[in-house]
Amino acid sequence: MYIFLDESGDLGFDFAKAKTSRHFVISLLVCQDKQAQDGFRRAVERTLKNKLNHRKSRSRTVTELKGTGTTFAIKQYFFCQLPASGWKIYSVTLNKPRVDEHLRTRAGKKKLYNFLARFILEKVYFPEEVQRVSLVVDRCKNKEEIKDFNKYVVNQLEALLPLNARLNIDHLGSHESAGLQAVDLFCWGIARKDGMGDQEWYALYQDKVSFTTVYLPEK
């Protein structure tokens, strides 16, 4: 079983700044087996080759798919290349203006991030026959934060996984993982839906969304 975790937005709380997001999204792409994971790898490779790097005159090679800067037409093409089954999406959107003050500190933000990651991972169904779970996280933390995150997730997931299942956690750059590139696209779509009401891209894959919610919604 393969799980890819990515995020959209930030955990800044200075809403006077134009670039501070009002929402923070954590999304998971869950591939039930290697066949589904390989299907995503092929879909990313085809999209890069046929839609972004097909012009011989292009001076710079595009090495990864991103939610921002990728046209809807390219997202449509990517979606059409995906495997028909064997994968699901889970997501949680934090409504940041309702976060308590004590969670807006540096330590509070780390606690908040870990809580949200655990919250959404708890929604994933782990079949009894699963023997190995690979969690791949977009590398955006320092060494200390990675160590704390890994320890926290292992402790929290231990009770959820089948007894004989082994958990492996990797922190990779998005260019190193097709699964991370895919979940970046999905996470961006959910952020657009919840933040701006734009459902154009989300509507294509919404049937694959097993769980999505807004945490601390507007009163």
pLDDT in tens, 98-151: 999 999 999 999 999 999 999 999 999 999 999 999 999 999 888 999 999 999
Q: The dihedral of CA 142, 147, 149, 150: what is its sign?
A: positive
Residue 60 in this model has a pLDDT that exceeds 90:
no
pLDDT at 107 (0 to 100): 94
**91 within 8 A of 28, measured Cβ to Cβ:** yes
pLDDT at 58 (0 to 100): 59
What domain range includes position 181? Answer: 2-215
- The most confident of 42-51, 56-65, 155-164, by mean pLDDT: 42-51
Distance between CA 105 and CA 156 in Å, rounded?
23
Residue 80 in this model has a pLDDT that exceeds 90:
yes
Number of domains, the chain:
1
Distances (CA, A) of 82 to 8, 53, 62, 188, 208: 22, 19, 20, 17, 11
Mean pLDDT rounded to a whole number for the chain: 95
Largest CA distance in the chain: 54
> Which residue type, as a one-letter code, is found at position 28?
L
CATH of the domain at 152: 3.30.420.10
pLDDT at 59 (0 to 100): 67
pLDDT at 113 (0 to 100): 95
3-state secondary structure of 56: coil
Q: How many CB atoms lie under 10 A from the CB of residue 48? A: 20
pLDDT at 35 (0 to 100): 98
Interval 80-94 mean pLDDT: 99
3-state secondary structure of 190: helix
Q: What is the DSSP letter of 50?
A: I
Tens digits of per-residue pLDDT, 154-212?
Answer: 999 988 999 999 999 999 999 999 999 999 999 999 999 999 999 999 999 999 999 99
**141 within 8 A of 16, measured Cβ to Cβ:** no
pLDDT at 216 (0 to 100): 97
Burial (0-12, 13-18, 19+ Cβ within 10 Å), 112: buried
Phi/psi at 178 (nearest 5 deg)? Answer: -65, -35
Region for residue 25 given its phi and psi (left: phi exceeds 0; alpha: psi -120 to 50; beta: otherwise): beta
pLDDT at 61 (0 to 100): 87
Distance between CA 139 and CA 180 in Å, rounded?
10
